[in-house]
Amino acid sequence: MKRYVLIILVACIGKVSLAQSEETKTGAYERTELNATDIANLNAANPSAVGFDDRYEGVKGTPLMFEDWITGDLFLTNKTWIKNLKINLNLYEKSIYYLSPANDQTLAVSNDKVDEIHVFLDGNALIFRKFLPDQFDKKIDPDQFFELLAQGEYTFLKLSKKLFKEADYQGAYSADRRYDEFVLSTSYYLTNNNGLFEKIKLTEKALCKLFPDQKSRIKEIVKNTGLSEGEEMVLAVLKEL
């Protein structure tokens, strides 16, 4: 994989010069020109930054979500909003990579410094948001971002991770995998009747189990869609429930 020389940001920007506000589900944020400028000025000599490199050389695949840089907005935990950055998501180390507006240097900010991410891809806006552990029926990592697929009476979330699998080609029961590799792992969560997010499979059977009181309606909707499983099937059901 192409070498990335990365700077991990461990402190958010302190200066504020109000320019524009934005309301999201996680609060109100103020955008300023100073934020992008200050981030661009960070470098390896900054005592609040740590550099690293060479970590992924010789590995098949990538820890990143997107194949290329994507335009996006970052809503930081200090309630500032940085707009129109070129970003990507590191799904393995839980951080966000971005290009410095000043010199196109690749930098990174850890997930715990960001509340929400808006990504603009093929004319669509994708929203990635963190949720509290007590919003789930089972324990989750509070610093991981979920893609918001649908929101309303029932909220539908997608969690994407990259798993690192080491080469395994020795021994009688090996997987015959002759290279280290990053592998995408995807899981889905849907609000249940108690208002908590519950991990589900994208099947008619799983939806009927989650909402037993609407089993007949779910079966009818699924039959009309002609889809037996998948994201589109679940979205169609949620739209009609």
CA separation for the pair 100, 86 (Å, rounded): 8
Q: Evaluate whether residue 187 is within a structural domain.
A: yes
Average pLDDT score over residue span 116-142 = 94
Q: 186, 179 in Cβ contact below 8 A?
A: no
Query: What is the 3-class SS of the chain, one letter each residue?
Result: CCCCCEEEECCCCCCCCCCEEEEECCEEEEECHHHHHHHHCCCCCCCCEEEECCCCCCCECCCECCCCCEEEEEEECCCEEEEEEEEEEECCCCEEEEECCCCCCEEEEEHHHEEEEEEEECCEEEEEECCCHHHECCCCCCCCCEEEEECCCCCEEEEEEEEEECCECCCCCCCCECCCEEEEEEEEEEECCCCCEEEECCEHHHHHHHCHHHHHHHHHHHHHHCCCECHHHHHHHHHHC
Total count of domains within the chain: 1
Residue 18: pLDDT over 50:
no
- Give the tens place of pLDDT for each residue, 61-103: 899 999 999 999 999 988 888 899 999 999 999 999 988 888 8
Residue 54: give the domain boundaries.
6-200
Average pLDDT, the chain: 81
Q: Which two tokens stand for residue 137?
A: 């029926």
Looking at per-residue pLDDT, the higher value among 180 and 197 belongs to 197
On whether residue 219 sits in a domain, the answer given is no
Q: Which of 10-14, 39-43, 79-83, 135-139 has the lowest mean pLDDT?
A: 10-14
The answer to whether position 165 is within a domain reads yes
Residue 2 pLDDT = 35
pLDDT digits (tens, 9 = 90+) for 179-192: 788 999 999 999 99
- Asked if residue 239 belongs to a domain, the reply is no
Q: Is the pTM of this model over 0.75?
A: yes
Binned at pLDDT 50, 70 and 90, residue 13 comes out as very low
For residue 71, being part of any structural domain is answered with yes
Whether 230 maps to a domain, the answer reads: no
Q: Is the pLDDT of residue 107 over 80?
A: yes
Does residue 86 form part of some domain?
A: yes
210 within some domain? no
